[in-house]
Amino acid sequence: MKTIAFFDTKSYDRESFQKYSGDELNFRFFENKLNEDTVSMAACCDAVCVFVNDNITRRVIEKLENYGVKIIALRCAGYNNVDLKFARNRIKVVRVPAYSPYAVAEHAMGMILMLNRKLHRAYIRTRDHNFSLDALTGFDLNGKTVGVIGTGKIGQVFAEICKGFGMNIIGYDPYENKDFCGKYVSLESLLSQSDIISLHCPLTHENKYLINDETIAKMKKGAYIINTSRGKLVDTQALITGLKNGQIGAAGLDVYEEETDLFFEDFSDEIIRDDTLSSLISMPNVIVTSHQAFLTKEALSSIAETTVKNLNDFFKTGKSENEIII
């Protein structure tokens, strides 16, 4: 039996993975995130299973290797939180490249609908018995242009949803997808033409702060920005400036560049010391959700199934089709 140290565990993780714990795999569930202070919990384990806010640095990898850990299993698609160059030839890293593109794409559309039709504000009003319609005017999505940055599986599904609303769809991606239902344009053209811009790309060194002062200035005035991918695709200070001066009409954020110590946790009885995040949350034309776009029953089931397959394949053959190779 192989023992897996499972970090950053939530109740829904236990529910999804517990049924796979048995003769072949034994999960040790920890609520702590994996970092240099907690890596010792993985001692005597054969593998670690981690999520988006675990911090797998060079030092963490060194300690895991010393403990005899053979594989890092990411239960997510992104891997920017792992020092892959240092891990190479030391410890295998596998991921879940796709779980439910519908989950994330539908969440992105939900944010658009809520921001446009002011549903979050209307909900609060009616609970206070305020039935005024002042300042709740939205616009028809039909005929508007949506720019999709990143046209992989999630971006492709998101575009199909937008197509159902009768929107004009344009896309930008260095690697074009033949199944994308929109028209490919340059990034500059996408920025200038789009009424709504939705990000669906992984975080790389090349696209860090893709949304910044310069790119925001090129956008159509009043454009919406939706980010369900990675926080550091957006320069938060530039975003706030754009929101304050009206260049950006609204923003829906499921991710935030400094989310690591905040998202997935309950701070409802505490004062948040992140003034930037507090500023965003206070704005009436901004919606922040705590990295929940993936959170559907179907996605959780797929994540667990693929992660367990990655582990079993590795322990049986030394290989996995979802190994990250750089």
Task: Give the pLDDT of residue 98.
Answer: 84
Please indicate, yes or no, if residue 326 is contained in any of the structural domains: no
Domain containing 35 equals 2-99+297-317
Q: Domain for residue 193, yes or no?
A: yes
**3-class DSSP state for residue 203?**
coil
CATH of the domain at 156: 3.40.50.720
Q: Do 88 and 203 belong to one domain?
A: no
Q: 209 and 130 share a domain? A: yes
| Structural domain includes residue 324 | no
Active site residue ranges: 230, 259, 291
Region for residue 51 given its phi and psi (left: phi exceeds 0; alpha: psi -120 to 50; beta: otherwise): beta
Q: What is the pLDDT of residue 326?
A: 77
Low-confidence ranges of the chain (pLDDT < 70): none
162 and 72 within one domain? no
pTM above 0.85, yes or no: yes
Please check whether residue 18 lies inside any domain of the structure: yes
Cβ neighbours of 180 (radius 10 Å): 19
Same domain, 86 and 203: no
pLDDT score at 21: 84
Is there a single domain that holds both residue 93 and residue 119?
Answer: no
Per-residue pLDDT at 136: 97
Provide the terminal-to-terminal Cα distance of the chain, rounded to the nearest Å.
30
- How far apart CA 283 and CA 123 sit, in angstroms, is 16
Phi, psi of 70, deg, nearest 5? -100, -20
Q: Distance (Å, rounded) from C-alpha 126 to C-alpha 108? A: 25
- Say whether both 93 and 108 belong to one domain: no
**What pLDDT, on a 0 to 100 scale, did the predictor assign at position 325?**
87
At 23 the pLDDT is: 78
Total count of domains within the chain: 2
Residues 101-118 have pLDDT tens digits of 999 999 999 999 999 999
Residue 325 inside a domain? The answer is no
Clarify whether residues 265 and 228 are in a common domain.
yes
- In-domain check, residue 322: no
Which helix H or strand E contains 145, and what residues bound it?
A: strand 145-149
Say if 239 falls within a structural domain: yes
**Residues 29 and 141 reside in one and the same domain:** no
Per-residue confidence (pLDDT) for residue 22, from 0 to 100: 80
Residues 135 and 93 in one domain: no
Pair (156, 194) in one structural domain:
yes
Residues 108 and 182 in one domain: yes
Give residue 266's pLDDT: 93
Q: What is the DSSP letter of 217?
A: H
128 burial level (CB within 10 Å; 0-12, 13-18, 19+): exposed
Question: What's the alpha-carbon Rg for the chain, to the nearest Å?
Answer: 21
- Looking at the structure, tell me whether residues 69 and 159 fall in a common domain: no
User: From residue 60, how far is each of 43, 82, 85, 86, 257 by CA, in Å?
Assistant: 12, 10, 13, 10, 21
